[in-house]
Structure 1
Amino acid sequence: MPDIHVIHENEAWIVPLRAAFARIGVPFREWFVDRGVLDLRAPPPEGVFYNRMSASSHTRGHRFAAEHTGAILAWLHRHGRTVVNGPRALALEISKVAQYEALAAFGIATPDTLAVVGREHIAAAADRLGFPLILKHNRGGKGLGVRLFLSAAALAEHLASDAFEQPIDGITLVQRYIAAPEPFITRVEFVGGRFLYAVRVDTSEGFELCPADQCAAGEVCPAEAKGPKFRIVEGFTHPLVPRWEAFLAANDIGVAGIEFITDRDGRAWTYDVNTNTNYNPEAEAAAGVSGMEAIARHLAGLAAAERRRAA
């Protein structure tokens, strides 16, 4: 029986991880989480568990996949299983408010944000914050609900229209727009809690920044765009890397992509933590690196350590 179990709810996003395990010759078991029965009377199987549950799982018809995963992680935790991206990681994956508060504990700046429950309160929150601003979903992923507004009139028109998207958890974030001197953000990837590489992402075509080689049918995904939409930055360094690593360690996050933007004054603002990170295959091929292989090797190392302890 494989020693590695991968918890997920998206077939497309698991394909490159399968290939990575095949390249290194390590077996693993997939645990597709949507519906089912969790028998709390029985112990979990032995091994290492990797949680790849996504904040956007509800957009693929898996409305309670994250909640189901939360129950599984609590069960695994009680039985002392080794879990990469455990309960705390899941809590941050599905709440940007939780992310921002956790980042603040490490002195990591996030954009000014108001969390709003109730569509009727968004305009007043926007007036308090000022324009330009961004609306986004607290539980998002893939840029869900992210829209830029330059004026109160534009926001009012949007709120009165069918284009307004109600967040799955009811929380809309009203967030200060960070103006960058160039239209790009940087996504910093971590595996095993350590810096792996950084990728520059062109945002000139919008905010849906899914880097996966496949996205769900019907979605607009920049990973399918031609040209250097995603480019791995050679020799990347940043003074926030040690703080990001400390933040990940303190919040039970082994694998993540952290996104930040730099304003015209050179200040970095961290605005998203993706604990279900994906990688752009074209950018990786050009740079000669593989995030999924790094994950596979990390999990294989943890599983080998478990076997040694059990021997």
Structure 2
Amino acid sequence: MPPALPASPRVVVLAGGLSHERDVSIRSGRRVADALRTAGVDVSVHDVDADLVPVLTEARPDLVWPLLHGASGEDGAVRDVLELLGLRSVGTGPRASRIAWSKPIAKTSVTRAGLATPEFVTLPQSLFRELGAGRILDAVVDKLGLPLVVKPAQGGSALGVTLVRTAEDLPRAMVACFAYSDTALIERAVEGTELAVSVVELDGEPVALPPVEIVTDGPYDYDARYNPGRTEYFAPARLSPEVTERATQAALVAHQTLGLNHLSRTDLIIDADGTPWFLEVNVAPGMTETSLFPQAAEAGGYELPALYRRVVEGALTDD
């Protein structure tokens, strides 16, 4: 029999941290905390700092909801600590988080499950120092063609991501990427409709929310994601029912194949033939006023306070 749920669960939302995405995390944490309070949850927000372990040890909350973006928040490290403290948490466990956090590993895993993903190579910065950049980058262009997308092998919020249309622009893109990660993922760019498909587990079953279509006047970079005005969103996406079904099924396959838990967001490109191409998955989707998960939930007819409380209740009753 599942444990009885407290009438007003005590939840600690973790927001902040020291990654490049600290500000986004703080905004996400505040919005989720406000929604949970509206739904009758006893919630507090705490940064990830030297006081965190003593606070959690003394408070012993019913649940911890990490809304941390970037390293440590999404690579499983903080979740390892929560497990060591014997605390329940919202989201994917540490081992599956590490797999999803590594874009090359995640892409390889979902390809084995039948999803399409753009052809790619993964190159560490150290290799360029040892072998020289010029010939390696020439080989990349010869193999993958143009245009290309260069991105950190781990990371989020499009930090360090560049769309490369000419070979001359590739070295500059590599420098931008290595500012955020020691390893670059270089993949063939797929032209098409950019989508985000969020998944939330309700009553123990993963449910795909309506896809959100992303239209920008330029690259969908950090500024376009979090500052209103540069990006237009369509929720639900302007897709045929058949293509919508393919996109939502792709997100569900990614969620289940990678062993994700409670909620996730899968980023896709839909090509001219209606094929969804897997780009990456996020185990801690942003929850800011311009983030994709809340937009998808509202497009699906969910009120955010009630939905987030259902997420909390589901996490509290997990075996």
Give the alignment partner of residue 214 of structure 2, picking from 169, 181, 201: 201
* Contact residue 44 and residue 79 of structure 1 kept, 8 A: no
Q: Tell me by how many angstroms 1:223 deviates.
A: 4.4
Give the alignment partner of residue 150 of structure 2, picking from 115, 127, 135: 135
Q: Does 1:76 align with 2:82?
A: yes
CA deviations on 1:128-160 (whole Å, 9 max, x unpaired) are 22222111111221112221222323324x269
Distance 2:230 2:161 in 1: 24
Q: Residue 12 of structure 1 aligns with which residue?
A: 27
* Contact residue 270 and residue 277 of structure 2 kept, 8 A: yes
Q: Tell me by how many angstroms 1:239 deviates.
A: 2.7
Q: Residue 300 of structure 1 aligns with which residue?
A: 312
* Contact residue 197 and residue 247 of structure 2 kept, 8 A: no
Amino acid at match of 1:74: D
* Contact residue 116 and residue 172 of structure 1 kept, 8 A: yes
Matched residue of 1:205: which SS?
coil
* Contact residue 214 and residue 234 of structure 2 kept, 8 A: yes
Distance 2:11 2:274 in 1: 42
Q: Does 1:166 align with 2:178?
A: yes
Give the alignment partner of residue 198 of structure 2, picking from 186, 189, 212: 189
Distance 1:285 1:226 in 2: 21
Give the alignment partner of residue 280 of structure 2, picking from 272, 280, 289: 272
Amino acid at match of 2:15: H
CA deviations on 1:106-144 (whole Å, 9 max, x unpaired) are 211111110011242444333322222111111221112
Matched residue of 1:239: which SS?
helix
Matched residue of 2:176: which SS?
coil
Please, which runs of 5 or more residues in structure 1 have no aligned partner? Answer: 58-64, 209-218
Matches within 5 A, 1:233-244: 233=236, 237-244=244-251
Q: Does 1:176 align with 2:224?
A: no
Q: Tell me by how many angstroms 1:286 deviates.
A: 8.1
Matched residue of 1:265: which SS?
coil
Give the alignment partner of residue 148 of structure 1, picking from 156, 163, 176: 163
Q: Residue 102 of structure 2 aligns with which residue?
A: 95
How many aligned positions are there? 280
CA deviations on 1:195-224 (whole Å, 9 max, x unpaired) are 12221110332121xxxxxxxxxx623443
Q: CA separation of 1:96/1:43 partners in 2, compared to 1, >3 Å: closer, same or farther? A: farther
Q: Does 1:23 align with 2:22?
A: no
Q: Does 1:113 align with 2:125?
A: no
Q: Residue 213 of structure 1 aligns with which residue?
A: none
Amino acid at match of 1:11: I
Q: Residue 214 of structure 1 aligns with which residue?
A: none
Distance 2:52 2:45 in 1: 16
Matched residue of 1:207: which SS?
coil
CA deviations on 1:217-252 (whole Å, 9 max, x unpaired) are xx6234433387112017963135345324323413
* Contact residue 257 and residue 275 of structure 1 kept, 8 A: yes
CA deviations on 1:158-179 (whole Å, 9 max, x unpaired) are 269xx63415431111110112
Matched residue of 1:197: which SS?
coil
Amino acid at match of 2:93: G
Q: CA separation of 1:37/1:294 partners in 2, compared to 1, >3 Å: closer, same or farther? A: closer
Matched residue of 1:220: which SS?
helix
Q: CA separation of 1:263/1:101 partners in 2, compared to 1, >3 Å: closer, same or farther? A: same
CA deviations on 1:47-73 (whole Å, 9 max, x unpaired) are 233332212x6xxxxxxx448x74442
Deviates more, 1:121-130 or 1:42-51: 42-51
CA deviations on 1:84-119 (whole Å, 9 max, x unpaired) are 222134314532112212222321111111001124
Q: Residue 255 of structure 1 aligns with which residue?
A: 263
Distance 1:293 1:22 in 2: 8
> Aligned-pair RMSD on alpha carbons?
3.5
TM-score by length of 1: 0.75
Q: Tell me by how many angstroms 1:22 deviates.
A: 2.1
Distance 1:205 1:177 in 2: 15
Matched residue of 2:279: which SS?
strand
Give the alignment partner of residue 221 of structure 1, picking from 213, 224, 229: 224
Q: CA separation of 1:286/1:87 partners in 2, compared to 1, >3 Å: closer, same or farther? A: closer
